[in-house]
Structures are given as C-alpha cells and as structure tokens.
Chain A
Amino acid sequence: QKEVEQNSGPLSVPEGAIASLNCTYSDRGSQSFFWYRQYSGKSPELIMFIYSNGDKEDGRFTAQLNKASQYVSLLIRDSQPSDSATYLCAVQGAQKLVFGQGTRLTINP
C-alpha cells in the first residue's frame, strides 16, 4: 500500500463548478497535511495546509481532514480555467513530507 494515495485523474470539471480532490494516507500518526498546486513546467506551490480535524477555508479553497478515516480532501469552489493544474497531496511523517502521485485537474470553459 502506498503511503499517500490520490486518484491520478484526469479530473474534468466545468467552469464554475466545485472540484473535489481526495487523498488517503497510511500513517495514522501523521499530524500535518498539505496541498500543493503544480502547473505544467513549474515547481509545486503550497496552497493549503491543515493540522486539525474538520474544515479549513481560504478563499475558494477548502481543505478537509478526517484523521479517523485517514482522509484529506481539497474543494475548489467556482472553478476557473486557471485552476487547471496537478494537485499534490503531501503528508508529514517522520520529519519528512511524503507526496501522493498527484491529481491532474482540468477546468473546462
């Protein structure tokens, strides 16, 4: 079992809709969770982090964490074509980040 798993997609969402990205992790002791956005040919950019169970909102982005289910998600409201990118889930374990494979998201105008 991979330590951090994401659906690789591609995930196609119409403009203005909600995009939902999911991530599961295997280390029950993980405490910190991150979402990075990576445009093609660019380096990853941190967009959200969450440490506590529940929801954390920042503008159009909401991160959700359920430690009991070992599940992290990222919701993007009012999706824009500029949100088209690969989204990487990362989980802090043993003083290092472990990344999922990433989900490629395409927003269709």
Chain B
Amino acid sequence: SAVISQKPSRDICQRGTSLTIQCQVDSQVTMMFWYRQQPGQSLTLIATANQGSEATYESGFVIDKFPISRPNLTFSTLTVSNMSPEDSSIYLCSVDPGQGGNEQFFGPGTRLTVL
C-alpha cells in the first residue's frame, strides 16, 4: 500500500488563526480525501481532494473554512481557517490507490488543539 505522510503531526494554535496541513503520498493516486475525527468520535469526511479542480465538500463543510489544494497526484493540503476551539480535532488524509476495491489507507493524522 501507499506510504502517506502528514505535516505537522500536531500543533497548538490560537483562535482566529489558520493552519495548513500537508499530505504527501509516495506514489500517484487518483483519489485523496480529508477526514476529521473529533475526540472520542468516529471519522467524518470533510471533502474529496480533486486534482486540478475544486474539492468536493460534504454537507456541513465549506470551502471558506476548509480550503483544499491538490496540485498533483501525490500531494494535497487542507487549511483550517479562522480556528475556534471547536476545530480541535485530529485531521486525517486518506488515499484510494485505485486497486479496484475502493480501499482507503490513512496517513498518520494531525492532532490540532485550538486555544
């Protein structure tokens, strides 16, 4: 399976600021996704990162709050904008390597704390 890295692994931020999270894959993949996992909760899909076009956002998530870039088939960024304590969460990128079974593999995650 693909090797996925995320930066930063964790951060503590002040409310009102923004943080950009990077996701790097060691091979080209068609599909990349961004998830949020709030404390003690399951995973919620934020958006599908589309290469060369705007991301596809899930209900409840908007581009102004979570802008996403996907400049190529191995890299994506998620920005959490104008943060509030409610944004404290783990943010995970995942990839579908396109092996035909729709399996997704997750990066190590970014643990964000907003004060």
Spell out A's residues near B (CB within 8 Å): 32, 34, 36, 42-46, 49, 51, 88, 90, 92, 95-102
Contact = CB atoms under 8 A, between A and B. Distances in A.
Interface in B84-109: 90, 92, 101-109
A49 B90 CA distance: 24
Nearest to B109: A43
A32 B42 contact: no
B107 A49 contact: no
B64 to A, nearest CB: 22
Contact of B43 (A45, A46, A88, A92): A88
Interface residues of B, number: 20
B29 interface: no
Nearest to B106: A43
A97 B107 contact: no
Contacts of A96: 33, 45, 48, 58
Contacts of A32: 101-102
A43 B107 contact: yes
B108 A43 contact: yes
A100 B108 contact: no
Interface string B47-78: 01000000000100000000000000000000
A7 B101 CA distance: 26
User: What 10 pairs across the A-B complex have the smallest Cβ distances?
Assistant: A43-B106, A99-B43, A43-B109, A99-B42, A32-B102, A101-B42, A92-B102, A44-B106, A102-B42, A43-B108
A94 to B, nearest CB: 11
Contacts of A42: 108-109
12 contacts: A32-B102, A34-B104, A42-B109, A46-B104, A46-B105, A49-B101, A88-B42, A96-B48, A96-B58, A98-B45, A101-B41, A102-B42
A51 B103 CA distance: 11
A90 B43 CA distance: 10
Contacts of B41: 101
Contacts of A51: 101
B42 A46 contact: no
Nearest to A86: B42
